[in-house]
Structure 1
Amino acid sequence: MVQYLLITANVGSLFEPDARLHSSWIKTVSDQVDTVDPSFFIIHLQETGGKKFAECSQQVPIIISRLSAALPKFDLLRAYVDIDYEAIEYTALGALCFIKRSLWTSVLQFNFHSKKYEQLTSPKEVVTQGLENYPYVVKHKFPKDFWPSIKWGRKGYMQTRWKIGNRVFDFVNAHLFHDESNLALIHENPELYSQNRKRALDFVLKELSAMENGCTPFLFVFGDLNFRLDSRSFLNRITERTAPHPVAEQEQLGSLADGLQKPTATNLEVNNGYPAENLRRTVSAIEFRRESDSDDSQNSCVLRIEKKKFDYFNHKKLLDDWKSYRGDDKEADNFKSMFELNINFPPTYPWSEDPENSETLMKTRAPAWCDRVLMNKSAYSLVEQGGPQYTSFGMETCTGDHKPVMLSFNV
């Protein structure tokens, strides 16, 4: 029997000049690995090097070395981490694979250049440069025209392929587009960002299908998929008996009461799903105020939304009641060929980045299950039979603004 452990972790918050989160993050991950005790463990990383990548990318090999030292049961390491931030195809993605010696003879790695599986020989291999042409990795940034309206970012995917026993596994690390503005989810096109994510992941799945080379691998796509809640149903749920009011930069606009369900031409002038340009330019915030309050006092505001602010009047309740809005998490349904185990854990984003206050959500975005493990049908069937566990972890410590998500199963 082989015990597998797959983990996805957005590590952008780890990479700061003081490296203050390194030790707690390494301990959190290594403790989880020790608990599961897998023979084959792979962790997918997103945003390696963090937002200050020019300054902090040098920390990446250090944290890999420290994590490896914290996992002495694993004799073999294959680490592929894209930290060449000056390269055109820079994605900041990483894939770290740890294998126990007892499994060495049963594991082959696919060479995408020669189209052959090869025996593992050297115990450790850490590659941080030239991954575009490295034979054991497929790595691509999404094309510029996928999102021409914003700055071309680091979003993309990375693939490795393994043959373990007589089964072929494709492990794909995907980092899909985020929600650029909270306001766009209300008074612009509420499906703008989810449509871009669907386009990107459909692109990945199509590319993978073209590379199957006559075989049908057990496919696992796990990364920061940036799936968000359905904004209309979620906001209607948490703002009952309130009315939305725009807060203009220069002048107060008219009421947007019932604007979520029924935007009118008077205040939205919808054109192909988008509002008039002057509304996008002038509205800086939208407040949901209790209808029973006659004044505009601060106490009447239940929720204030700005471009990068989501300030709910009771953020603790929002976190504690996460089961009440699980039904608003619908993006995975857009991918009919992919499957996922039931989610029975709190939202994985956006958690506090403050080690002294790590068990709360930040007031920057609506809560969401961004970090996911999706599988094709054959992989899903295999996992279902293997006593799977699908959960997030690290609730008691600060792991940055994302909580890691794990899937374990045996074959």
Structure 2
Amino acid sequence: MDGHVCVMLVTSNVGSAFEEPDDVQQIWLCELLEAVRQGNPHFLAVHLQELGGKHYESTMKNVQSLVRSITNSDVLKNYDRMLVLLDENMKNKETFTALGSLYFIHKSFKDIQLWSFTKQMFEPISGKTVVGGSLSGSEAHQKVKFPADFFPEFRWSRKGFLNTKWNMCGRVVNLVNVHLFHDASNLRALEQSPSPYCLNRRRAMEHVMKLVTREDGSQPVSTFYFGDFNFRLDLQNVVKSLCGDMSPQWSKKSGGEVYQAVYRREGENSDTVLTIAEKLFQYKNSSEFLINSGEKFLEFDVESQYFKDLHELDLTFPPSYPYSEDSHEGTDLLTTRCPAWCDRVLFNNQAKQDLSFASHCNKLEYGMIGRNVCTGDHKPIFMQFVLPRNAGQSNGGNSTRTAHSAGDQQPAYLTLMLVAIACSAVLLATMFPSL
């Protein structure tokens, strides 16, 4: 493996792809497989959200077919081990997250093991395993759905996280599939900065990080969170940027409730610049969000900055949401929401240290899949990097080694004590050679 391991992480909200299994889904599949072919990683992780589609009651049956199309593809024929976790039991409302995590290991990559959350130990991975239903048949994951009363003011569903832990060449790595809450109403998001939805997502992500970190104990673990975070731009300040000092014209229902805000230029050539409703964000020049990959709007992308212990590579691709679901309109934006970088890859401090090798080797890439074609309302996002072999954190060949065993290393105070005793013995021997 030329002294390093190539890792590729992909995240994709596939909700709308399942609405058109013979059209949009096939385009999505081709784009994914082509990205994998070009990347040619030793280890591939694909995190899916909204598995089965937005109307999963009728389209969940298509999940297995899509998975077979991926696993049986020629691109993956040299990947002799795989783990596929599909949370697809929609009848179990208390635990259903509609998350899917797919992992593929190239036949040339031998130094890898998978953590058993039940046995609390790493074990060799072999064969091709697919676990569906509620995932009760797997010991290799940590799944949490946000409880129904987590946010009492709102009604949420199918949101949570799915974590797996790996030992890659002696380096312990968490791969966390995350799906956070969306903005239910553009008007509500417009009321304050940060919006109430932003604050809810912050609380939810802190909850995820706390649970994942608690599972790790004290040992340093590289953790990658990749999924649909639903991070949105600071809408109140985006509108100020787009509309300047224009005053909105508020439309209200008979009961006084606002249902629409319209921003118009004043004067003889008065025209509508922006219209906002609960599920409407209609901007006159929506292509501005795609010019130079949306660089103009990066200053309003602030949600990830709330997490001081998380990092991200520079965003050099346009917003990943919301795109047209028409298979012939790959670059057109929907007028439902303000465009945003919802789908991303974040990582903790330990992972940042580990990525320094890839950065030094210039083998670190963060980008978008299917940029010019229709992949549904979300674009898949990927991150690819290399890790050095023989990290030395743990013995990848020992299946009984735990992720945080206190007995694996001597405590620091014991080491210092032994050194002090040894030094004292040398000093006494020098002073009293006859002893």
Same topology, TM > 0.5: yes
Counterpart in the other structure of 1:262:
none
C-alpha distance 165-189 of structure 1, shift in aligned 2 (>3 A): closer
Inter-partner Cα distance in structure 1 for 2:213 and 2:260? 43
After superposition, give the CA deviation of every residue in 1:295-347 in whole Å (9 maximum; x if it has no partner): xxxx5210000100100112223332611111110001110111111111100
Residue in 1 that maps onto 2:355: 383
Task: Please name the residue that 1:56 is paired with.
Answer: 59
Q: Which moved more, 1:219-228 or 1:10-19?
A: 10-19
2:294 aligned with 1:290, yes or no?
no
Match of 1:141? Answer: 145
Q: What is aligned with 1:157? A: 161
Partner of 1:239: 243
Whether the 8 Å contact between 1:3 and 1:409 is mirrored in structure 2 is yes
Counterpart CA distance in 2 for 1:325 and 1:396 is 20
Q: 1:133 offset after TM fit, Å?
A: 6.2
> Secondary structure of the equivalent of 1:131?
coil
Q: For each residue in 1:267-296, what CA deviation from the matched residue of structure 2 results, as whole angstroms up to 9, or x when unmatched?
A: xxxxxxxxxxx65xx2110011113358xx
Alignment check: 8 A CA contact 1:108 1:119 kept: yes
Asked if 2 retains the 8 angstrom alpha-carbon contact of 1:89 and 1:132, the reply is no
Aligned CA distance change for structure 1 residues 59 and 241 (closer, same or farther; 3 Å): same
Distance between the aligned counterparts of 2:204 and 2:157, measured in 1?
13
52-61 or 340-349: bigger deviation: 52-61
Q: What is the aligned counterpart of 2:7 among 1, 4, 7?
A: 4
Q: How many residues align?
A: 376
In the alignment, the residues of structure 2 paired with residue 73 and residue 186 of structure 1 have an alpha-carbon distance, to the nearest angstrom, of 50
Shift of 1:146: 2.0
- Give the gaps of 5 or more residues in structure 1: 251-277
The one-letter code matched in structure 2 to 1:366 is C
- For 1:140 and 1:132, the matched residues in 2 are separated by 13
Task: Letter of the 2:238 partner, please give it.
Answer: F
Residue in 2 that maps onto 1:172: 176
Q: The residue matched to 2:79 in structure 1 has which SS?
A: coil
Q: Which residue among 286, 292, 308 is the counterpart of 1:336?
A: 308
Match of 1:313 in 2: 284
Distance 2:229 2:303 in 1: 10
Q: Is the 8 A contact 2:248 2:264 kept in 1?
A: yes
The 3 A distance-change label for structure 1 pair 44 and 145 is same
Unpaired runs of at least 5, structure 2: 388-435
Q: CA deviation at 1:241?
A: 4.2
- Whether contact under 8 Å (2:97, 2:160) holds in the other structure is yes
| Letter aligned with residue 288 of structure 1 | Y
Which residues of 2 match residues 7-406 of structure 1 at below 5 A?
7-16=10-19, 18-70=21-73, 71-87=76-92, 88-103=94-109, 105-121=110-126, 123-132=127-136, 134-187=138-191, 190-250=194-254, 282-293=257-268, 300-320=271-291, 322-386=294-358, 387-406=363-382
Query: How much has 1:130 moved relative to structure 2?
Result: 3.1
Hey, what's the Cα distance between the residues in 2 that align with 1:143 and 1:132? Answer: 18
Q: Which amino acid aligns with 1:333?
A: Q
Q: Is the 8 A contact 1:243 1:291 kept in 2?
A: no
SS state of the match for residue 216, structure 2?
coil
Contact 1:219 1:375 in 2 (8 A): yes
- CA offset digits 1:135-168 (Å, max 9, x no partner): 1111111122222223231110000000011100
Structure-1 separation of matches of 2:243 and 2:303: 22
Tell me, in whole angstroms, the C-alpha distance in 2 between the residues paired with 1:14 and 1:233. 32
Aligned-residue Cα RMSD (Å) equals: 1.6
The answer (yes or no) to whether the contact 2:165–2:172 under 8 Å persists in 1 is: yes
Distance 1:292 1:241, change over 3 A: farther
Distance 1:213 1:317 in 2: 46
Aligned partner letter, 1:95: S
Q: Which has the larger radius of gyration?
A: 2
> For the residues of structure 1 that align with 2:297 and 2:192, how far apart are their CA atoms?
23
The Cα shift of 1:53 comes to 0.8
Q: Could you state the TM-score of these two structures normalised by the residue count of structure 2?
A: 0.83
Q: Provide the C-alpha distance between the structure 2 equivalents of 1:344 and 1:18, rounded to a whole number of angstroms.
A: 30
- Give % identity: 35
**Cα pair 1:241 1:291 within 8 Å, conserved:** no
- In the TM superposition, what is the alpha-carbon distance from 1:189 to its structure 2 partner? 6.8
- Matches of 2:78 and 2:244 in 1, distance apart? 53
Deviates more, 1:142-151 or 1:194-203: 142-151
**What's the CA shift string for 1:186-219, capped at 9, x where partnerless?**
2367520010000000001111111113422110
Post-superposition shift, 1:26?
1.0
Deviation at 1:17, TM superposition (A): 6.2
In structure 2, distance between residues paired with 1:339 and 1:199: 17
- Partners of 2:99 and 2:237 lie apart in 1 by 33
Q: Report the residue type matching 1:83 in the other structure.
A: E
Shift of residue 246, structure 1, vs aligned partner: 0.5
The structural deviation recorded for 1:75 is: 1.7
TM-score, scaled relative to structure 1? 0.88
